[in-house]
Amino acid sequence: MATSGDEMNTKLTFRKYEDGDTSWDSMTDKIFKEDTSHKCPTYVHRTPPCQGSCPAGEDIRGWLDIVRGIEKPSGDTSWQEYAFRRSTDANPFPSIMGRVCPAPCQDGCNRNQVEDFVGINSVEQYIGDHALAEKFTFGEAGKETGKKVAIIGGGPAGLAAAFQLRRKGHACTVFDNHAELGGFMRYGIPGYRTPRDVLDGEIQRILDMGVEVKTNTRIGDDISVEDLEKDYDAILWAIGTHSGRAVPIPGGDAPNAISGVAFLNAFNEGRLQAVTGKIIVVGGGDTSIDVASVARRLGAITEIHENDRPENIVLGQTAHDVASTAAREGADVTLTSLFPVENMTAAEHEVRDALHEGVDIKGSVMPMEAILDDSGRIKAVKYAECEITDGRPTAKEGTEFELECELLVSAIGQSGDMTGIESLDNGKGFIDADKNFQVPGKKGHFVAGDIVRPHLLTTAIGQASVAAEGIHHYLQHENLDKRPKVDVHHFQLLNKLRETGLSPDEYHVEDQGDLRGTAAAKFAVHNYEDRASNEIIKSTKLFLGHFEYTERKKRDDKPVSAENVIGNYAERMDCLSEEATVEEAKRCMSCGMCFECDNCVIYCPQDAVKRTPKDMTTMGRYVYTDYDRCIGCHICAEVCPTGYIDMGMGDG
């Protein structure tokens, strides 16, 4: 009888050994032989793939272990606050990132080998939303150093850098040419994805650390670069990429052809209230999805006056009057991509939502020419089906077709607005960066975010951490040869021991001599190795058979249908409840770190692996090995679900 679909989706298929496996397949494994092995267990801390896949370098496993109750805070700190502090070491925007980050960490999650990834971003959203509700702050800045840093751009990179620099005690002034801070989080992403009260709350926490702000100020116009150099000890350029590229086809620069970033900026500023006619969005990434989804929500007006045309609104020549846009109907929006729909770079759920909202998405097509009317405006766009060869699209002969067009929106790439700061332009509308995110040939000038290379918000935040570290070394007159790392927010056992009052004893070699070889002294952390900074643990190192099929706790989705999309700016997902958040965090396999399952204690035939006494135990020190009893059978390593145990004691 055929296997049912339900059974296929719930019955685990992982097997550590296959039928017919009767011998060890490597010489190293042959040490498993009676009681003659010289190998004994050692405890090895490695980086999990979620953190290795996170451009901001968050200690994801760390805060998931806090949420699930494995690592506990000291004193009367709640687990929610403790998780918030751990999360924001790397990223000060947990509430926003939990909503909009496409979560490359989830793609890397080893749990995918069992049934489905851990919902990391949903847990992060809960941490962030709870922190806002409880009004958690970042506390006081570090001890003042007397150094001042000018940060040009108040988006994710600039604000994250201000956060990290204030923690180090450096004074920061953020300059931004908009009325409000937030960058693309405010002006590039619609409010139903980044709710403004949430964004304002997460920004205010950073400003409360003592960050000075100067909005509506353009460097190179209102203030010269030379004046900045005189007044500040270092400068960070985090200006983003707010200039879009036109579609590179004949007629692609017509008056009714605009960029996606300009379209979204006009909408987020409240100037754009409706669209007209048929809209074509060229792209395939997240920006193009946002443009198409916003156009559907705005709706179209049929009584068109010249001032009401979207391109005039977007270019700042006028603004929509609410009364004139009251009578709206569904906008006809088509999004086109060079790639097949399933291979578009936009997040899968965003594509799914756009389709549900009534956006027509055509994949594997390329624009060939904009067909103009007598006034020079685009009235249609000629397309052809295409295939990607060596990374370039090639049109298929005989497949041409036309799409009517009232507004052509290009979301195919962005660059920086370098007006007034042309000396920093690398010729392509970006600013070059060396390995320390310092501007080559510009001492004291650093750079981070999309102006280096457009990517994810979390990438900009990670770059800001690296740049802030580089600025710190520069201000301390320290060597910048070695690039700072983004992936530095690891669990530190020594810090945990200090936090819990279990610090190793003082050791003075002149008084106590050479004590190598002892396991009884408390001068060091025994049989523990930290490889977190240079090794990511693979699923093959885990004992996946330990983990039962557990369905992911998903946030309640509130889909918007094509029928009720106009004017619908409500959030599309609810935050998980506290109970569901904890349950989802428990699905984390804690790759590379003990999660106190007791397998090694239960299965040790010699009673050599024991629980650490309660008054000495802490995260990462749950068990220890009595080497007088250990026979090197390495059963403990075989049954360890997290890959935390290596048969390494005795090597070298």
DSSP 453: S
**What amino acid is encoded at 101 in this protein?**
C
**What amino acid is encoded at 140 in this protein?**
E
Q: Is 221 exposed, middle or buried (0-12, 13-18, 19+ CB in 10 A)?
A: exposed
Number of neighbouring beta carbons within 10 Å of residue 99: 26
> Among 123, 207, 125, which Cα is nearest to 160's?
207
* 633 within a domain of the structure (yes/no): yes
Do 421 and 402 fall within a single domain?
Answer: no
- For residues 89-107, give the mean pLDDT: 95
**Which pLDDT value is given to residue 554?**
95
- For residues 545-565, give the mean pLDDT: 92
Do 362 and 501 fall within a single domain?
Answer: no
Do 409 and 420 fall within a single domain?
Answer: no
> Among 198, 117, 83, which Cα is nearest to 539's?
117
3-state helix, strand, coil in the chain (%, to 5): 30, 15, 50
Do 207 and 279 fall within a single domain?
Answer: no
* 311 within a domain of the structure (yes/no): yes
Q: Two tokens at 519?
A: 């396991």
Residue 513 has pLDDT above 70, yes or no: no
Domain range for 251: 246-414
Do 365 and 464 fall within a single domain?
Answer: no
* 316 within a domain of the structure (yes/no): yes
Question: Positive or negative, the Cα torsion across 229, 232, 233, 234?
Answer: negative
Report pLDDT digits (tens) over 35-85: 555 678 889 999 999 999 999 999 999 999 999 999 999 889 999 999 999
pLDDT category, 24, cuts 50, 70, 90?
low
pLDDT category, 489, cuts 50, 70, 90?
confident
Task: Identify the residue with better confidence: 557 or 162.
Answer: 162
Report pLDDT digits (tens) over 195-254: 999 999 999 999 999 999 999 999 999 999 999 999 999 999 999 999 999 999 999 999
**Which pLDDT value is given to residue 34?**
47
Residue 512 has pLDDT above 80, yes or no: no
Report pLDDT digits (tens) over 378-436: 999 999 999 999 889 999 999 999 999 999 999 999 999 999 999 999 999 999 999 88
Residue given tokens 């080998």 in the structure block: 113
* 94 within a domain of the structure (yes/no): no
Share above pLDDT 70 across residues of the chain, in percent, rounded to a whole number? 87
CA distances from 49 to 60, 83, 205, 458 (A): 10, 19, 30, 16
CA angle centred on 408, ends 403 and 411, rounded to 5°: 115
Note whether 259 and 246 are within 8 A (CB).
Answer: yes
Do 422 and 535 fall within a single domain?
Answer: no
Which residue, of 475, 502, 523, is where some domain finishes?
Answer: 475
Do 276 and 309 fall within a single domain?
Answer: yes
Residue 631 has pLDDT above 70, yes or no: yes
Residue given tokens 């569904």 in the structure block: 330
Average model confidence (pLDDT) across the chain: 89
**Which pLDDT value is given to residue 5?**
46
Which residue, of 382, 414, 446, is where some domain finishes?
Answer: 414
* 73 within a domain of the structure (yes/no): no
CA-based radius of gyration for the chain: 28
CA distances from 286 to 281, 367, 409, 441 (A): 12, 19, 14, 34
**Which pLDDT value is given to residue 570?**
93
Do 598 and 629 fall within a single domain?
Answer: yes
DSSP 2: P
Report pLDDT digits (tens) over 101-142: 999 999 989 999 999 999 999 999 999 999 999 999 998 899
Q: What are phi and psi of 529, to 5 degrees?
A: -130, 130
- Distance of alpha carbon 433 from alpha carbon 415, whole angstroms: 15
Do 205 and 175 fall within a single domain?
Answer: yes
* 488 within a domain of the structure (yes/no): no
Q: What are phi and psi of 299, to 5 degrees?
A: 80, 165
> Among 46, 58, 49, which Cα is nearest to 459's?
58
* 91 within a domain of the structure (yes/no): no
Report pLDDT digits (tens) over 255-294: 999 999 999 999 999 999 889 889 999 999 999 999 999 9
Domain containing residue 423: CATH number: 3.50.50.60
* 173 within a domain of the structure (yes/no): yes
**Which pLDDT value is given to residue 2?**
43
Residue 323 has pLDDT above 50, yes or no: no
CA distances from 330 to 260, 280, 334, 430 (A): 20, 14, 13, 38
**Which pLDDT value is given to residue 532?**
81
The number of distinct structural domains making up the chain is 3
- Distance of alpha carbon 161 from alpha carbon 652, whole angstroms: 43
Do 356 and 396 fall within a single domain?
Answer: yes
CA distances from 407 to 300, 301, 339, 353, 376 (A): 12, 13, 22, 22, 13
**Which pLDDT value is given to residue 559?**
84
Do 622 and 527 fall within a single domain?
Answer: yes
Residue given tokens 């209230």 in the structure block: 273
Domain containing residue 527: CATH number: 3.30.70.20
Do 524 and 616 fall within a single domain?
Answer: yes
What is the DSSP pairing of strand 392-395 with strand 378-389? antiparallel
Which residue, of 364, 392, 414, is where some domain finishes?
Answer: 414
